[in-house]
């Protein structure tokens, strides 16, 4: 992997992780189209570092919200305080429920936890199956068409004006299932989660914000999971320049695209991204048939 390739793939990772066009799909199809081949050990190291780059982008945009949500969630786990003990002889679970019910940030923290469970469970159970899909560009191309359909349907069907304060546990599970489906390369994680939020009646901006917050544990988990490959092999140490370029490029493009999408979805629709996915998926399918 040279520096130019690292720059292209790092920019793609950061941009398409958040713009609803599938980062995994692009990182599979672009090297395939350009006939780029990489050492598996180096590619694993690169993937780990670019995931940390996109995580840095999320932290840069949402660090205040993430900090507040984390602290609020942890507060719900403590035992009854003096006031609670003096006003009611309630067990810990009743105190927990009351705190979650009365604190919007605490509710959001637990909706993120609940929404992260489907992706963690399905990813762990079907890891080998999803790994196989990364080696099948025609399937990835077809799944881009699925992403196009999801985006178009959700824009037509969804968006009824609910905000994050109206989110409930059913919404969290539905959006979490969308995130789990996006483990398959070609299904956009942000697209599937935003689409699920719209179908559940969330406003576009609220659906996008929850999608980004929900992605934090998954991206962190992916980075930690891939870190074992980075630590287990020393060959990557001779490729510090492209790895550093990929890390920086993914962080910068990720930050810019989060800002862009949050602003765009205040008034803009998802149809342009659906059209792009449909065109890209169709083109790659035709190329795969010709090859």
pLDDT of residue 240: 79
pLDDT of residue 166: 85
The tens-digit pLDDT sequence of the chain (291 residues) is 888 999 999 999 999 988 999 988 898 899 999 988 887 777 777 887 888 899 899 999 999 989 999 998 888 877 666 555 555 555 667 777 777 777 888 889 999 999 999 988 888 888 788 888 888 899 999 999 999 999 999 988 876 678 888 889 999 999 999 999 988 999 999 999 999 999 988 988 888 899 999 988 888 877 777 666 666 665 656 677 888 898 999 999 999 999 999 899 888 889 999 999 999 999 999 998 887
* Among 192, 208, 207, residue whose Cα is nearest residue 153: 192
CA distances (Å), origin 283, targets 16, 33, 274, 276, 286: 18, 11, 14, 11, 5
* Among 102, 119, 120, 100, residue whose Cα is nearest residue 110: 100
Q: Distance (Å, rounded) from C-alpha 227 to C-alpha 249?
A: 19
β-sheet bridge partners, residue 162: 202
**Domain range for residue 209?**
3-290
> For the chain, what is the domain count?
1
pTM comes to: 0.86
User: The tokens 């003990």 sit on which residue?
Assistant: 85
* Among 119, 176, 118, 134, residue whose Cα is nearest residue 27: 134
pLDDT of residue 11: 93
Q: What are the tokens at 151?
A: 């985006």
Q: Identify whether the C-beta of residue 22 lies closer than 8 Å to the C-beta of residue 187.
A: yes
């Amino acid at each position: 992997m040279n520096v130019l390739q690292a720059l292209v793939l790092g920019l793609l990772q950061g941009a398409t992780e958040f713009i609803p066009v599938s980062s995994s799909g692009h990182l599979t199809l672009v090297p395939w189209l350009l006939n780029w081949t990489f050492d598996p050990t180096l590619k694993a190291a690169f993937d780990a570092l670019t995931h940390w780059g996109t995580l840095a982008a999320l932290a840069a945009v949402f660090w205040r919200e993430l900090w507040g949500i984390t602290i609020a969630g942890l507060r719900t786990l403590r035992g009854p305080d003096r006031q609670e003990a003096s006003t009611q002889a309630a067990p810990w679970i009743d105190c927990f429920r009351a705190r979650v019910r009365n604190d919007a940030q605490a509710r959001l923290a637990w909706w993120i936890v609940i929404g992260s469970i489907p992706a963690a469970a399905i990813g762990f159970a079907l890891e080998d199956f999803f790994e196989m899909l990364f080696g099948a560009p025609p399937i990835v191309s077809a799944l881009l068409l699925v992403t196009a359909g999801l985006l178009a349907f959700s824009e037509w069907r969804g968006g009824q004006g609910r905000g994050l304060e109206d989110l409930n546990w059913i919404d969290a599970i539905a959006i979490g299932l969308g995130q789990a489906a996006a483990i398959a390369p070609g299904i956009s994680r942000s697209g599937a989660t935003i689409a699920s939020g719209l179908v559940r009646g969330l406003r576009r901006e609220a659906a996008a914000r929850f999608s980004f917050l929900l992605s934090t544990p998954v991206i962190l988990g992916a980075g930690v999971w891939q870190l074992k490959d980075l630590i287990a092999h020393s060959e990557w140490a001779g490729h510090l320049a492209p790895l550093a370029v990929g890390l920086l490029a993914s962080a910068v493009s990720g930050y810019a695209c989060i800002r862009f999408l949050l602003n765009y979805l205040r008034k803009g629709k998802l149809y342009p991204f659906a059209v792009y996915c449909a065109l890209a998926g169709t083109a790659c399918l035709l190329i795969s048939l010709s090859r």
